Structure 1
Amino acid sequence: MAPILEVHDFTFRYAARPQPAVQGISFSVEEGEMVLVAGPSGCGKSTLLRALNGLIPRSYKGDLQGSIRIGGVDPRTWPLARLSQQVGTLLQDPERQIVAADVLHDVAFGLENLGWPRSRILERVDEVLHALGISHLRDRPTFQLSGGEKQRVALAGVLAMAPRILLLDEPLASLDPQSAQEALALFRQLHQEGHTVLLVEHRVEDAVRARPDKALYLEEGRLAFMGDLEAFFERVDPTAVKVPFPVWLRRWPGVRGRPMPRVEIPPASPSAPPLVVFEDVSFGYGDGPDVLHGIRAEIRKGDSLAILGPNGAGKTTLLKLAMGLLKPRRGRVWVGGKTTREQTVAGIAHTIGYVFQSPSQMLFAPTVWEEVAFGPRNLGHPPDQIEADVRWALELVGLLDQAQSSPWALSFGQQKRVTIASVLSMRSRILVMDEPTAGQDYRSYMRLMDAIARIAFGPAPAVDALVFITHDLDLALSFANRVWVVADGRLIADGPPEEVFSDPETMRQGRLVPTSLLEANRQHWRRIGRFLRAERLVEFLQGTETAHRA
C-alpha cells in the first residue's frame, strides 16, 4: 500500500518574504503512524502544516514547488469541505480557532457546515466532549475559558470531523502538566485506533510519552533528520531541543566547552519591600461564583516569581487584578502604595508591564517596530528614548532583523517574542509574563529568559521583579527564586522551588508532574543546596564523577 502522506521536494516562499520558508523537503508517512515534528522556532514547521491542511496555497500565497499527496491525491484538487474530513488541524493559538459564543456551538461548527442532521451533531459533540473529559464545559461561554480549556475545545471541534490525518500544532503549549499527560494519552489512543498523527511540539520530553513511531527534525527550512527516537536523541543538540535529562548526561561530552550562561538569581528575600500586595482578595466574573478566594500575598523587590497550577485555577485572573484590568469583588490590590481602584490601567502600566498569553490579544501594528514602539509612545516617552528602547528590546529578543516585517508574517514563537519586546520597551518596574515560553523552542526561550534575568539581576537592573505564569516546571526551577501554586482559586503554596516542588500534596493539587530534570535535582539537592538548570546540574554531576574517579 502507498503511504497515506507523501511530500516530495516541497519548497515554499511566502509572497512577502525574499527567502523560502521551507526548501526541498521530502518524506512519507504510513497510515496509522505517529510522527513527532520538531525544530527551532521559525524553522518551517507551521509552513509545512499549512501546506498539508490546504491553507497553502488557498490562504497563504507564494511560490510553491514540489508535490504533496494525501492517499495518492493532490489535496489542492479537493474542495475545502472534503479536505477538512481528510486533514484536521489543531492550531497553535486556540484564540484563532474558537469561532462560536459557547462550547456546544463551537464544537458543532464544522459538522453544521457539512450539513449533518441536528440530532447526529449533538450526539457527536457529546461523544467528543466526553472523550476529552470536558463535558462540564458544554454550555460554557467560550470567552470564559482559560487558555488550556480553549485548546481542548478547539481539539474537540477538530476530532468531531473524524479526519484521517490529525495535525497537532504545539498542542501542549497551554496545558498544565497533568492535562498535558492526559492529552498525550488521548493522542496515543487516537494513534492506536488507526489515526495518522503529526505532532508538532517543542516539549520533546513530554511528546515522547505519546510514543511516536518516528521523529522529523527541521532546521532552517530543511529536513535535517527523519528516523526513530533513539537515533534522534543521538543526533539532536540538547541545548537546542528540550530532551530528557538522561540524554543531557549521555551527550554532555559533545556539549562541554561551549560558553554557558552565568546569570545568578539570588534567593528571594522575605524582608524586601513589597511592590504588589493582595489583601484578602476574592473575585468572580459577573454574577457567577468566586474564582479566587481570599488571596493574601506579596510580590517583592528581587522576586523572580513563577506561578503554576491547573488550567482554570485563576492564575491569569490573579495577575489581571494586579494590572487593574479586573477589580476585586472583595479585598484590595495595592500597586505602588495605591489600590488598583485609585489608579487607571495606563497608570499601573508604569509599574507593571504585562505580556498576555496569546499574541493575538496584543498584536495590531503593521510592522514589528511599530508594535514595539506603541507602548512607550502611548506613555509619552521622548522620541529619542523610544528609538533606543525599541532597538534594545528587539535586540534582546533576537528580532531586530525582523523590525520591518509584519507581526502576522512571523511564527507563533516569534510573535510571542514581539509581545515581550513591546512590554520591555515601556521600561515598567515589574515584568509580568503569561506563558512566556509557549510556542518557543528550547534554545530560544532559554536565551530569552537568560536575557530577561540579566535585566533583573545583572550589574544594572532595569526591573525590580520578574513574574511569570508557566506550566513548565523546568523553567520554574531554572529561573525562579520563589514559586506560587494556585489551585481551585486559592494560593496553596508560596516558597522556594526546592520546598514547593518537594511537597507531594502540593504537586498533586497543582496537577504538577515531575520531569526528569526535577527528579535529578531532588536526588542531589541536599549536596548542592539548591535546584539547578540542566547545564549547571550536568556540570556538577560530571565534575563530581570526575573527582571521584581521580
Structure 2
Amino acid sequence: MIEFRNVSYSYRKNGGKNIDDLNFTIHKGEFVLITGRSGSGKTTVSKCINGLIPYFHEGIMAGDVFVGGENTKGLALYEIGEKVGSVFQDPRSQFFTTNTTDEVAFGCQNLGMERGEILQRITDAFCSLKIGGLRDRSIFELSSGEKQKIAIASCRAMNSCVYVLDEPSANLDIESIDQLGKILQVLKHSGTTIVVIEHRLYYLRELVDRILYMDGGKITGTYAAADIEYLNSEKLAAMGLRHFNLADIQYCAKRVAKNRNIALKVANLEFAYKHRKSIGGTGEILRNVGFTAWGGEIIGLTGKNGAGKTTLAKVLAGLLKEKSGSIAFNDQRLRAKDRLRKTYFVMQDSDYQLFSDSVKRELELGNEQLEGLPEKCHKVLGELDLLPYEESHPAALSRGQKQRLTIGNGIICGADVIFYDEPTSGLDAENMKKVVKLLTEQARKGKLVFIISHDYEFLLNICSRILHLQDGIIANDFELEGINEPRLKKLLFT
C-alpha cells in the first residue's frame, strides 16, 4: 500500500537531510506506529506520504514514494488526497468551513461528486464513527477532541484507503484520547491502512501491528506488536520513548522547599466569557475559585477539556480580567495589567509566541534588561538541545523544537510566576525529562510554577501539588506524593 524507495529529503538546500535513504513498505490494512525522538524525521515521512512533500514544501527530495502502487511523483496533489486522508496535530489548520457537516462534505464537493452521494457519505461517516451528535455544529464551539473527530470523519467521507495521523493525542485530555483510540479501532477493523506519528504510546498498545523507530532521519528499529512487552523501562528510556504501560510510571518528582517570600492568594475568583455558553448555560467558566500558592511549588492544573484550566491561568497571569474576586501577590491585590508585569505565560501553540528571525534572538527578545543574557541563552539552548539551531529561523524547527524554544523563553524570563500550558504536547520522553529538570530548577530558585497538563507521565515527574478543576471550580487540591499517585490516576482516567 505504501512504499518508500531510497527516499531522502532536506527542507533547506544547504542543510542536512531530514530523512536519509529510507526504504520500507507498509501493507494494506496494517496499523503502523512511527515514533522516535523529536526532530528525528517522523513528520517529514508523513508529509512524503500525503504529498505535502514535494508539492507544498520546498526542498530537495530524492527517491520515490508509492501509494496504492502509484508513484506520487506522477500524481496531482488532489489525486494523492483521494487516496490519503491526513489528520494534523492541530485540526484547525486543515478546516475550510465553520460548520461540521459542511467540513465533512468539503472534500467530496471538491471532487465533484453528485449531491446524493455526498449526503450518503456524510451520513455514513458520522454513523460509522458514532459521532452523530457532532452534526451541524459550529467548528468554533468544538473541543480539541471533537475537532479531531471531524477531521477523521472528513477522511472517512472521502473513503480514504490510507490515514496518516500526526501526533493526534497532543492536544487531547485523557477521555478524548480514549475516544480517539476507539475510533482508530473502528478504522482498523474496516481494513484501513493507518499510519500514526506519536510520542504518547499507551493508548496504541492494543492497536499497532508494527512500530518503526526513527533516529537521525533513519529507521533504526522495526518492532512487531509482540515485541512491545520486551521494551522495558530501561530500553524505552535509552530510545527516548514514553511508556506503553501506564502501570510502569512511578512518582519521581523532586521536592523543593517552599519560598515564603512569594505568595499568590486567590479568593472568590469568578470569570465569564461574554458570548460563550458554559456552566449551566450562564457563560461562567470559573466560580468561587480560591487557594494560596507559594514560591518553590510546581502546581499541576488538571481537568477535562473545558474545565477552565487555561482560563484560570490566563486570569491569574493578567491576560484576562476577572469578573469578581481578588488576586494578591505578597498580600498586595493586583489588577490584571499589574499582574502582567509579574508573570509569564507559555502558550500551548508555540507558533503564536515566536516572533524573531532566529532561535537565539527569540530568547533575547524582551529580555534585554537581564544581566548575563548571552550566557543564559547559551546555557538554556544547550540544555534544550537547541544550540545547533541558534541561528536558524524558528519556522524551520520541528514542532517539538518550537515547543522547547517557547519553554526556554519561560525559563529565561525574570518573572516570579510562570505558567506553562501543555508544555509536553510535542515532546518525546528524553526532552520531557530535560524540561522537568529545568522547571524544577526554576522552582528551586523560588519561582512559582503552574503547569496545565493532561500528561500523566509528566505530572508524576514534576508536580508537587495538584489543583483539579471540574465545571469551573477547584474540586480537588492535594500534595502530589507517592501515596496520592492513585488519586491523580483516578481523577485523570475515570
Q: CA deviation at 1:471?
A: 1.0
C-alpha distance in 2 between matches for 1:135 and 1:326: 35
Structure 2 match to 1:527: none
Correspondence 1:23-34 to 2 at 5 A: 23-34=20-31
Decide which of 410, 415, 419 is 1:423's aligned counterpart: 410
Q: Which amino acid counterpart does residue 342 of structure 2 have in structure 1?
A: T
Q: CA deviation at 1:388?
A: 3.7
Q: CA deviation at 1:224?
A: 0.8
C-alpha distance in 2 between matches for 1:337 and 1:101: 46
Name the SS for the 1:319 alignment partner. helix
Structure 2 match to 1:230: 226
Change (3 A) 1:20 1:430: same
Asked whether the equivalents of residues 353 and 431 of structure 1 are also in contact (C-alpha less than 8 Å), the reply is yes
Q: CA deviation at 1:266?
A: 3.5
Correspondence 1:139-538 to 2 at 5 A: 140-209=137-206, 211-231=207-227, 234=230, 237-239=235-237, 240-244=240-244, 264-266=254-256, 274-286=263-275, 288=277, 289-335=283-329, 337=331, 339=333, 342-344=335-337, 347-377=338-368, 381=369, 385-457=372-444, 461=445, 463-498=446-481, 501-503=485-487, 510-512=491-493
C-alpha distance in 2 between matches for 1:174 and 1:313: 14
C-alpha distance in 1 between matches for 2:104 and 2:394: 29
C-alpha distance in 1 between matches for 2:131 and 2:366: 38
Cα displacement string for residues 104-154 of structure 1 (whole angstroms, at most 9, x for unaligned residues): 444443333333456655664465456556555555544454444443343
Which 5+ residue runs of structure 2 have no aligned equivalent?
Answer: 278-282
Q: CA deviation at 1:26?
A: 1.0
Moved more, 410-419 or 486-495: 486-495
Cα displacement string for residues 362-408 of structure 1 (whole angstroms, at most 9, x for unaligned residues): 2232221232222324xxx26x6443443333233221221111212
Structure 1 match to 2:280: none
Q: CA deviation at 1:326?
A: 1.7
Structure 1 match to 2:73: 76
Cα displacement string for residues 298-325 of structure 1 (whole angstroms, at most 9, x for unaligned residues): 3322211111111222211111111222
Q: Which amino acid counterpart does residue 40 of structure 1 have in structure 2?
A: R
Structure 2 match to 1:253: none
Q: Which amino acid counterpart does residue 215 of structure 2 have in structure 1?
A: E
Q: CA deviation at 1:202?
A: 0.8
Runs of 4+ in 1 over 6 A off after TM superposition: 246-249
Name the SS for the 2:493 alignment partner. coil
Asked whether the equivalents of residues 284 and 329 of structure 1 are also in contact (C-alpha less than 8 Å), the reply is no
Name the SS for the 1:417 alignment partner. helix
Asked whether the equivalents of residues 295 and 443 of structure 2 are also in contact (C-alpha less than 8 Å), the reply is no
Cα displacement string for residues 477-524 of structure 1 (whole angstroms, at most 9, x for unaligned residues): 221110111122222111023465534xx866x4526xxxxxxxxxxx
C-alpha distance in 1 between matches for 2:116 and 2:352: 36
Cα displacement string for residues 7-40 of structure 1 (whole angstroms, at most 9, x for unaligned residues): 1221112225521011121111111110111111
Asked whether the equivalents of residues 34 and 198 of structure 2 are also in contact (C-alpha less than 8 Å), the reply is yes
TM-score, normalised to structure 1, is 0.80
C-alpha distance in 2 between matches for 1:277 and 1:16: 53
Change (3 A) 1:162 1:497: farther
Asked whether the equivalents of residues 393 and 422 of structure 1 are also in contact (C-alpha less than 8 Å), the reply is no
Change (3 A) 1:150 1:290: same
Q: Which amino acid counterpart does residue 427 of structure 1 have in structure 2?
A: G
Q: CA deviation at 1:442?
A: 0.6
Q: Which amino acid counterpart does residue 502 of structure 1 have in structure 2?
A: P
Name the SS for the 1:238 alignment partner. helix
Structure 2 match to 1:59: 56
Q: Which amino acid counterpart does residue 94 of structure 1 have in structure 2?
A: P
Q: Which amino acid counterpart does residue 298 of structure 1 have in structure 2?
A: T
Change (3 A) 1:212 1:323: same
C-alpha distance in 2 between matches for 1:292 and 1:140: 24
Moved more, 410-419 or 134-143: 134-143
Change (3 A) 1:486 1:15: same
C-alpha distance in 1 between matches for 2:421 and 2:199: 18
Q: State the identity as a percent.
A: 27
C-alpha distance in 2 between matches for 1:131 and 1:329: 43
Q: CA deviation at 1:46?
A: 0.5
Cα displacement string for residues 91-110 of structure 1 (whole angstroms, at most 9, x for unaligned residues): 12334234434444444433
Q: CA deviation at 1:441?
A: 0.7
Asked whether the equivalents of residues 276 and 299 of structure 1 are also in contact (C-alpha less than 8 Å), the reply is yes
C-alpha distance in 1 between matches for 2:161 and 2:272: 44
Q: Which amino acid counterpart does residue 290 of structure 1 have in structure 2?
A: E
C-alpha distance in 1 between matches for 2:105 and 2:226: 40
Asked whether the equivalents of residues 300 and 451 of structure 2 are also in contact (C-alpha less than 8 Å), the reply is yes
Asked whether the equivalents of residues 308 and 470 of structure 1 are also in contact (C-alpha less than 8 Å), the reply is yes
Q: CA deviation at 1:232?
A: 5.3
Asked whether the equivalents of residues 349 and 428 of structure 1 are also in contact (C-alpha less than 8 Å), the reply is no
C-alpha distance in 2 between matches for 1:286 and 1:247: 42
Asked whether the equivalents of residues 174 and 493 of structure 2 are also in contact (C-alpha less than 8 Å), the reply is yes
What do you get for the CA RMSD once the two structures are aligned? 3.0
Name the SS for the 2:365 alignment partner. helix
Change (3 A) 1:489 1:411: same
Which 5+ residue runs of structure 1 have no aligned equivalent?
Answer: 250-261, 514-550
C-alpha distance in 1 between matches for 2:374 and 2:122: 51
C-alpha distance in 2 between matches for 1:318 and 1:130: 36
Asked whether the equivalents of residues 283 and 330 of structure 1 are also in contact (C-alpha less than 8 Å), the reply is no
Q: CA deviation at 1:285?
A: 4.1
Name the SS for the 2:486 alignment partner. coil
Q: Which amino acid counterpart does residue 423 of structure 1 have in structure 2?
A: G
Change (3 A) 1:119 1:161: same
Q: CA deviation at 1:221?
A: 0.8
Change (3 A) 1:162 1:363: farther
